[in-house]
Amino acid sequence: MRGFARRERERGDMNPPSNLLDEALGLGHGGAIAALPAGRVVLVEDCVETSGAFVLHHLLKRALSAGEGGGDVLFLALAQPFSHYDRVLRKLGCSLSVQRNNNKLHFFDMLKLEFPGLTGGNDIESGFVGLYSKIQRAIEARRSKEYSRGCITIMIDDLSLLEIAACGSIDCVLDFLYYCISLTAELDCSLVILNHEDIYSSEEAPRFLSHLEYLADIVIKTEPLSTGLSADVHGQLTIFNKGTSSRHGHSMNKIHNFHFKVKENGVEYFYPGSQY
């Protein structure tokens, strides 16, 4: 017991203090790094001007180094090759190659993913079924190991590319997501999705986005500053945290809003006007 406490303290010393983003996600308590609570669905929305990829990198690092020996991550990469994530995460102090060799990170390289044929709906559907069963198998393999009790996080970067791979059949993508979400509920995983908000801002396809926002427990939006580009403030984050019950018992449905500046080795979060 004492050994555990010491380990906790050491880890607390090693890790940087929790930041505004972690607090808003409800991760920042006690100094020790915690992964996202199981069963959570997090949706990151960004736009052309301000990429939200850094939130994903942060959550990826967080998930891999959380808890006892870290959790597992299944990363569905459609946007970038492995080398990109490896370099970015290395600067954040987390080696993806090592994590992959240790079987902590299951990297699905789907940069070139195309569902066979692309002619009828059936091919796309069966493609998604295949993808889902791969994920399911990977998770069950991890759950069966006795030593791994950490949280499993599924990450999708990014959903709009999955839509393109599915040739725009939104129903297939939504079905796939429903399956993934039911998986998170059954097997104690959490799901992190990156998507682009501005694609759906026109009147044509708002249904998909509102579906996603309904499914998500936490929505993180990255936007540029309304006053234009700045070298000191890269944009603002808005976080809608739906009904987390805090440790005091009352549920909080809170909106957090703050600015950020992305650096190579981390991101600075601060309230508007509190920097410099």
Q: Give the number of residues in contact with another protein, rule: CB under 8 A.
A: 41
Q: Is position 138 an interface residue for another protein (rule: CB under 8 A)?
A: no
Q: Is position 193 an interface residue for another protein (rule: CB under 8 A)?
A: no
Cβ-Cβ contacts under 8 Å for 22 (sequence gap 6 or more): 28, 62
**Window 81 to 100, contacts with another protein (CB under 8 A):** 81, 83-84, 87-88, 91
| CA dihedral for 251, 253, 258, 264, sign (positive or negative) | positive
Report the nearest approach of another protein to the CB of residue 106 (Å).
20
What SS3 class is residue 268? strand
Q: Is position 128 an interface residue for another protein (rule: CB under 8 A)?
A: no
Query: Site map for another protein, 42-81, x if CB under 8 A?
Result: ------xxxx-xx--x----------------------xx
CA distance 70 to 196: 29
Interface stretch with another protein, choices 68-76, 143-151, 161-169, 174-182 (CB under 8 A)? 161-169
- Report residue 184: phi and psi, to 5°: -65, -35
Tell which one of 98, 141, 170, 229 touches another protein (CB under 8 A): 229
Residue 225's Cβ-count burial label (10 Å; 0-12, 13-18, 19+) is middle
Q: Is position 120 an interface residue for another protein (rule: CB under 8 A)?
A: no
Q: Is position 198 an interface residue for another protein (rule: CB under 8 A)?
A: yes
Report the nearest approach of another protein to the CB of residue 60 (Å).
11
Interface stretch with another protein, choices 6-14, 26-34, 60-68, 196-204 (CB under 8 A)? 196-204
Query: Both tokens of residue 5?
Result: 């406490």
Of 154, 161, 199, nearest to 46 (Cα)? 199
Interface stretch with another protein, choices 62-70, 107-115, 125-133, 184-192 (CB under 8 A)? 107-115
Query: Both tokens of residue 92?
Result: 């954040």
Q: How far is CA 45 from CA 60, 69, 193, 196, 275, in A?
A: 16, 30, 8, 5, 25
Report the nearest approach of another protein to the CB of residue 275 (Å).
11
Of 68, 178, 189, 174, nearest to 140 (Cα)? 189
What SS3 class is residue 113? coil
Task: Give the side-chain half-sphere CA count within 13 A for 152.
Answer: 27
**Window 2 to 41, contacts with another protein (CB under 8 A):** none
Q: Is position 171 an interface residue for another protein (rule: CB under 8 A)?
A: no
What is the number of residues in the chain?
Answer: 276
Interface stretch with another protein, choices 125-133, 148-156, 185-193, 229-237 (CB under 8 A)? 229-237
Q: Which residue lies nearer to another protein by CB, 83 or 103?
A: 83
Summarize as ranges the residues that interact with another protein (CB under 8 A): 48-51, 53-54, 57, 80-81, 83-84, 87-88, 91, 111-112, 114, 118, 160-161, 164-165, 167-168, 196, 198-202, 204-205, 229-232, 234, 262-265
